[in-house]
């Protein structure tokens, strides 16, 4: 039996879309919460500078804190995306192995 390329492509799209779709929902929620927190912290720093509660001597400390928040957010986002890519890769390979097994009758793994 020959490998059905049209079906394989459709199955790959489905498998990958399911993984990415689920993870994107998680990513969107995480992103919204983190960006809201960063924006709120930015507003607090801005207000502190305006009122003088954050002085020129302490300004760098608070600005560094904001930079750290953004960096940590992006590092975490990168890690989440790496996990999503790994899950999508696993799903795609599983679909390919299954199609080859079905076409050849040979168990691959």
In this model, does residue 76 exceed pLDDT 80?
A: yes
The C-alpha atoms of residue 3 and residue 101 are separated, in whole angstroms, by 9
**Mean predicted confidence (pLDDT) in 31-43:** 97
**Mean predicted confidence (pLDDT) in 5-32:** 92
The C-alpha atoms of residue 104 and residue 99 are separated, in whole angstroms, by 9
pLDDT band at 16 (very low <50, low <70, confident <90, very high): very high
The C-alpha atoms of residue 72 and residue 33 are separated, in whole angstroms, by 13
Query: Domain limits of the chain?
Result: 20-99
The pLDDT tens digits for 51-74 are: 999 999 999 999 999 999 999 999
């Amino acid at each position: 039996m020959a490998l059905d390329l049209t079906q394989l492509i459709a199955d790959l799209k489905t498998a990958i879309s399911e993984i990415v779709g689920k993870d994107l929902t998680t990513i969107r929620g995480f992103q919204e919460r983190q960006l809201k927190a960063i924006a709120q912290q930015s507003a607090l720093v801005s207000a502190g500078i305006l009122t003088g509660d954050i002085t020129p001597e302490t300004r760098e400390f608070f600005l560094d804190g904001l930079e750290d928040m953004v960096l940590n957010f992006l590092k975490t986002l990168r890690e989440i995306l790496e996990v999503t890519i790994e899950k999508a890769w696993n799903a795609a390979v599983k679909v390919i192995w299954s199609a080859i097994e079905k076409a050849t009758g040979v168990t691959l793994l």
